[in-house]
């Protein structure tokens, strides 16, 4: 018989057991360190309110810290006949400590247990991703400043439009990441609230101290209402997925530009050979497969919020087993996004920039607006200047130097790198990573 926290001591149908457990054993391995942290905080609180003898706490804590080390080092296993990580942790404590191990579930349900596990897991993964976004931001800013004055054509409707620059291009994606960081901070704020103590969604008659577990686990605040705490299942995952889809949209668009700009028809950049692949039939091919895979993976991440909504969007309040499937959509987001961030930063650091793009005669007309503005500065009404330049284009007489005089904020000549960096730094500094890490470190002492 499988080991389950809800065991009712009757024989089960093996097919039903396999279907209901699904991928939980494999996916829950990622939750193991966080389930153990939640249990440490929970039993510490139980002892403080008189629901667990101090002697029992003193026996449980070393075992849990040992299990935490095993889980953190990848040595924790969920046995084939054990339903999930919660059951495995309790089973191992019971094997080692006897009946004392059976006391750790007092005042909680698997519902609030998995909620706190998921929030601790998501919080740790968001911190990791935020640091990768910050690294990519710095790389983009550095590249923008290095190639600030190197011009390339800007496009609308994929037609040559106006002069752009590599400073403008790199800087655009850096500032886009700044907006994405705002989304990540919103997701962090939703994640960083403690659901532990909400039990199955209706609280507990046990005199729990939820403020204490909030402090022990480094949460910023509580999800106060017990029903609401359970309602965050699905809502929390969707909020995180929305934030990640925002980052993915930026990174995926950059990858698409990379594919476009590295093609022979554009030829603005050259990707490192290591980031390209060949053809089985065409000896000359160097395909931007890495950027193409980044684009596809980012598109997949962008679909995750909708996948999550479709699983939970039509459920009433209370817990339903549908929510178990969320992990299958939610967990892959983090590794896929992090790998895309890493490889795109690597590509940017290694790509070669063509510095004489705009010397090609086919980009001559990109300077038509510059000519219009020159005439306007001489006192010609804008509409007359526009018609004059249009006529010169039509009859083939248009000429203009490649000198630019852009001065306004955010233009080629004034990209405000320092202001964008200050904004990004302010958002990055608003994540209370140190407080969280201090709390977890204290919990494990």
Give the pLDDT score at 22. Answer: 63
Euclidean distance between CA atoms 54 and 242, whole angstroms: 44
SS3 246: helix
What ranges in 262-365 are assigned the alpha helix state H?
289-312, 326-350
Contact between 163 and 412 (Cβ < 8 Å) = yes
Average pLDDT over residues 38-60: 98
Query: pLDDT per residue over 153-174, tens digit each?
Result: 999 999 999 999 999 999 999 9
* Domain pair 14-103 / 110-146+166-207+220-358+417-444, same fold: no
Find the range with the poorest average confidence among 32-41, 177-186, 260-269: 260-269
Q: What is the DSSP letter of 432?
A: -
DSSP result, 361-389: GGGGGGGHHHHHHHHHHTT--HHHHHHHH
Which among 66, 72, 135, 279 is annotated as catalytic?
279
Give the pLDDT score at 272. Answer: 83
Paired residues of 155 in beta bridges: 160
pLDDT at residue 398 is higher than 80: yes
Q: Residue 190: how many CA atoms within 13 Å on its side-chain side? A: 23
Q: State which CATH number among 2.30.33.40, 1.20.1600.10, 3.40.190.10, 1.20.200.10 fits the domain covering 110-146+166-207+220-358+417-444.
A: 1.20.200.10
Euclidean distance between CA atoms 227 and 213, whole angstroms: 18
Paired residues of 420 in beta bridges: none
CATH code assigned to 14-103:
1.10.275.10
> Catalytic: 157?
yes
**pLDDT tier, 176 (very low <50, low <70, confident <90, very high otherwise):** very high
Greatest distance between any 2 Cα atoms in the chain: 95
Euclidean distance between CA atoms 96 and 61, whole angstroms: 12
Euclidean distance between CA atoms 332 and 82, whole angstroms: 23
> Catalytic: 86?
no
Domain ranges across the chain: 14-103, 110-146+166-207+220-358+417-444, 360-414
Paired residues of 270 in beta bridges: 352
């Amino acid at each position: 018989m499988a080991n389950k926290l809800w065991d009712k001591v009757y024989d089960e149908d093996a097919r039903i057991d396999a279907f209901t457990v699904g991928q939980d054993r494999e996916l829950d391995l990622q939750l193991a360190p966080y389930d153990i942290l939640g249990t440490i905080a929970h039993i510490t609180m139980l002892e403080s309110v008189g629901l667990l003898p101090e002697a029992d706490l003193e026996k449980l804590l070393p075992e849990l810290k040992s299990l935490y080390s095993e889980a953190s080092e990848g040595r924790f296993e969920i046995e084939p006949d054990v339903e999930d990580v919660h059951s495995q942790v309790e089973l191992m404590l019971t094997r080692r400590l006897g009946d004392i191990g059976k006391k750790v579930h007092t005042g909680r349900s698997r519902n609030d247990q998995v909620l706190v596990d998921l929030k601790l897991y998501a919080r740790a993964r968001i911190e990791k991703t935020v640091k990768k976004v910050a690294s990519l931001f710095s790389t983009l800013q550095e590249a923008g400043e290095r190639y600030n004055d190197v011009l390339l054509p800007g496009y609308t409707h994929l037609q040559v439009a106006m002069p752009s620059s590599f400073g403008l291009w790199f800087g655009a994606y850096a500032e886009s990441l700044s907006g994405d960081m705002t989304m990540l901070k919103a997701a962090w704020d939703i994640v960083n609230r403690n659901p532990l103590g909400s039990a199955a969604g209706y609280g507990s008659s046990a005199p729990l101290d939820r403020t204490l577990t909030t402090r022990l686990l480094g949460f910023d605040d509580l999800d106060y209402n017990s029903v609401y705490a359970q309602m965050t299942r699905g809502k929390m995952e969707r909020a995180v997925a929305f934030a990640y889809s925002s980052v993915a949209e930026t990174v995926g668009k950059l990858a698409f530009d990379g594919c476009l700009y590295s093609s022979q028809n554009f030829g603005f950049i050259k990707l490192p050979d290591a980031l390209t692949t060949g053809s089985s039939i065409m000896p000359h091919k160097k395909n931007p497969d890495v950027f193409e895979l980044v684009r596809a993976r980012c598109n997949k991440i962008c679909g995750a919020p909708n996948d999550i909504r479709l699983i939970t969007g039509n459920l009433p309040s209370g817990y339903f087993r549908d929510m178990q499937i969320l992990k299958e959509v939610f967990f892959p987001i983090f590794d896929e996004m992090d790998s895309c961030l890493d490889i795109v930063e690597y590509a940017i650091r290694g790509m070669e920039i063509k510095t004489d793009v705009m010397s090609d005669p086919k980009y001559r007309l990109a300077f038509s607006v510059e000519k219009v503005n020159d005439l306007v500065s001489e006192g010609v009404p804008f509409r007359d200047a526009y018609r004059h330049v249009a006529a010169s284009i039509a009859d083939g007489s248009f000429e203009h130097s490649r000198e630019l005089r852009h001065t306004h904020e955010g233009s080629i000549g004034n990209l405000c790198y320092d202001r964008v960096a200050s904004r990004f730094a302010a958002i990055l500094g608003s994540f209370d990573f140190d407080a969280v890490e201090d709390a977890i470190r204290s919990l494990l002492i």
